[in-house]
Amino acid sequence: MRGWPTGVAVVTSAYKGYRHGMTVNSLASVSLEPPMVTISLANTARTRALVLSSGFFGVTMLDSTQQKLSDIFAGKEPEEDRFDGLETFQLATGAPLIKGGHGFLDCVVVHTYQMPNSTIFVGEVKAAEGDLLRMPLVYLNRGYHQVKK
């Protein structure tokens, strides 16, 4: 699949005062009415545990200038608090979203599918925002790329 280009996003959740997030490229639209998306998270991921506990997740679709954020939330940077120094905001559920992104989705989990090594979550989008003037960050063949206007 490394030859298939995908957008880069950070999936976040919060539960009982704890928040966490991780970089994903497994984001897809699966329904327009009602609007739904799907994500896949590793069964060992802390973010997965928070999504299961809270019942919601946020998606920040990264802007082409946010490669460093992708690396931080992918665990490629030393980790104290992945949100340290970042401006966040919330829309509907309380999921933390990262300012400066290309787009934002706030979702409530409506279906969960356990796989051998990951869990697929289907989320109904309760709120969405975006800035189509910003170009998305794209991942292809193990590297980041930018879309040209």
pLDDT digits (tens, 9 = 90+) for 19-39: 999 999 889 999 999 999 999
* Confidence band, pLDDT 50/70/90 cuts, at residue 123: very high
The answer to whether residue 6 scores a pLDDT higher than 90 is no
Per residue in 42-75, pLDDT (tens digit) is 999 999 999 999 999 999 999 999 999 999 999 8
Superfamily of domain 6-146: Electron Transport, Fmn-binding Protein; Chain A (2.30.110.10)
Round the average pLDDT of the chain to a whole number and report it: 92
Name the E strands within 16-53. 18-24, 27-32, 35-42
What integer pLDDT is reported at residue 106 of this predicted model? 98
Instruction: Give CA–CA dist 120/84, Å, rounded.
Output: 28
Please measure the distance between the N-terminal and C-terminal CA atoms of the chain and give it in whole angstroms.
Answer: 25
64-76 as b/e, with b when 16 or more CB fall inside 10 Å?
bebbebbebbeee
* Lowest-confidence pick of 75-79, 87-91, 134-138: 75-79
Q: What is the mean pLDDT of residues 95-101?
A: 95
pTM of this structure: 0.93
Instruction: Give CA–CA dist 72/107, Å, rounded.
Output: 23
Q: What is the mean pLDDT of residues 74-103?
A: 89
